Structure 1
Amino acid sequence: MSNALIRLQDISVMFARQNVLDNITISVEPGQIVSLIGPNGAGKTTLVRTVLGLIKPDNGNVWRKQKLRIGYMPQKLHIDPTLPLSVLRFLCLMPGVDRISTQAALKEVGAEQVINSPVQNISDGEMQRIFLARALLRKPELLVLDEPMQGIDVAGQAALYSLITKLRDRYECGVLMVSHDLHLVMKTTDMVVCLNHHVCCSGHPKQVSGDQAFIELFGKNAQTLAIYHHHHDHDHDLHGTIIDDPTTL
């Protein structure tokens, strides 16, 4: 099974007799970022739920490394605005998590200053980093990120993508990420899987950008995104402001 953390082989999932996923094969290895892209309704969330073990496929096989630790970062989480819940209490709802480990995880993602803030007062960018800290508290071998940039401005997206790459490098974990942000996905990922109920195409971003299936889904202008590289000598804080010291991210 090579060096894979997880491998889905010929997976099919049906809802109401309709194929949501059809004959999907995908794997993630340690240190690899795999990005799922595709139109709305393409089956990306269903594939993520299959990876997490929340959906049992109708056909095919799911293989996971023994005792694989998965950290999951959801798109969003509804929290009752009347519920008195601080960031610390929210993260400590996980078994075995205390203030010390919470502080360390928040510092890792550049959000330690919000530890005592009510979750209802947290910005979208800060909330995504809190979700990421929550995933890290599981000491994951595989990070599964479902549209982690939702609701964040472009500068904040770039900062969060940079952080995810740094965490991948630091922990040598695999990353499976769902995203619509082609302009950032194409320069931060190792493998792109273009999904529209089946795998339309997959491979390195530059390779995928020339595939006819990719062009048909996203248009000819999307081809340039796979070879675009943005080099900069600065980073951004949670709100997108330029900072001189990237270690404060």
Structure 2
Amino acid sequence: MSLVTLMGLGVRLGRHQALSHVDFSIDKGEIVTVVGPNGSGKTTLLRSIIGAQKPTSGKIVRAKGLRIGYVPQSLSIDATLPLTVNRFLNLPLRHDREVTEQALSVAGAQGLQERQMSALSGGQFQRILLARALLKNPDLLILDEPTTGLDQPGSAALYRQIEQVRSDLGTAILMVSHELHVVMSASDRVVCLNGHVCCHGTPEIVASAPEYRALFGSGTQGALALYRHDHDHHHHSHDSHSHEHGTCDHA
């Protein structure tokens, strides 16, 4: 079942054509990673899916009653402001304690309720943002470059946690990245964006595509392998979508 479908999406920002002829969809339970250089339209794509950016051409179809959880790239909180994790999670609407505890548990942030937001490490902070996005029990979780500022072990741990979210809740995940090595091996599909969809398919197919290497350079296969771990050998693909081979433009 398709949660969001973009058909011939075009977005013009002033004189700049940010996106052109984008056909894209994400199905229930899928993990899709969007990669592309700065200025490739990744943020515009997210804003369009969320509903914050109106298309100038094409259309977007969302499943009825679709719930979207959003994890921003960063969030600035004044270090002098006394704000506990629990208070942060209950702004602007208060939630039942068991709801917040469940969200923290799924995000791998148990026991942090009374900690000051300003005292959290980078990885803990991102997990709290993840927990906050999970409070509405989303069908689709959107993460905008969630590992910005984290070191390699911190990034790997956060991606394992995101995989766990899909495993525990069955939530579809759309993740945007500006670097290759953040592509999780658990991604069902990788979409390479550069104003249009220039390549899509499994991580291995995209990593070896000439179009991808032209944008990001070579040496990609080893980087992809960084985030493989034992249970990947037992990972089964979802049958909701079949993108076994993938496609790449050869323009």
TM-score bracket, normalised by the shorter chain, equals 0.7 to 0.9
TM-score (norm 1): 0.87
Partner Cα distance (1:186, 1:32) in 2: 13
Name the structure 2 match of 1:98.
Answer: 96
Q: Are 1:44 and 1:178, in contact at CA under 8 Å, matched by a contact in 2?
A: yes
1:142 is aligned to 2:140: yes
Q: Are 1:111 and 1:129, in contact at CA under 8 Å, matched by a contact in 2?
A: yes
Q: For residues 1-249 of structure 1, what are the structure 2 equivalents within 5 Å?
A: 3-226=1-224, 230-232=228-230
Q: Are 1:7 and 1:26, in contact at CA under 8 Å, matched by a contact in 2?
A: yes
**Aligned-partner residue type, residue 182 of structure 1:** L
Partner Cα distance (1:127, 1:231) in 2: 24
Q: Which runs of 5+ in 2 are unaligned?
A: 232-251
Q: Are 2:208 and 2:220, in contact at CA under 8 Å, matched by a contact in 1?
A: no
Cα offset for 1:98?
Answer: 3.1
Partner Cα distance (1:55, 1:230) in 2: 35
Partner Cα distance (2:181, 2:215) in 1: 15
Structure 1 vs Structure 2 CA RMSD: 1.8
Equivalent pairs, count: 231
Partner Cα distance (1:120, 1:126) in 2: 11
Cα offset for 1:222?
Answer: 1.8
**Aligned-partner residue type, residue 135 of structure 1:** A
Which deviates the most, 28-37 or 221-230? Answer: 221-230
Partner Cα distance (1:229, 1:73) in 2: 21
Cα offset for 1:102?
Answer: 1.4
Q: Are 1:147 and 1:178, in contact at CA under 8 Å, matched by a contact in 2?
A: yes
Cα offset for 1:164?
Answer: 0.8
TM-score (norm 2): 0.86
Cα offset for 1:223?
Answer: 4.3
Report % sequence identity. Answer: 45
1:166/1:38 Cα in 2 relative to 1: closer, same or farther (>3 Å)? same
Cα offset for 1:156?
Answer: 1.3
SS in 1 for 2:91: coil
Partner Cα distance (1:12, 1:54) in 2: 14
Which deviates the most, 173-182 or 41-50? Answer: 173-182
Which deviates the most, 60-69 or 199-208? Answer: 199-208
Q: Are 2:32 and 2:175, in contact at CA under 8 Å, matched by a contact in 1?
A: yes
Partner Cα distance (2:78, 2:186) in 1: 35
Q: Are 1:92 and 1:99, in contact at CA under 8 Å, matched by a contact in 2?
A: no
Cα offset for 1:209?
Answer: 2.1
Partner Cα distance (1:30, 1:96) in 2: 28
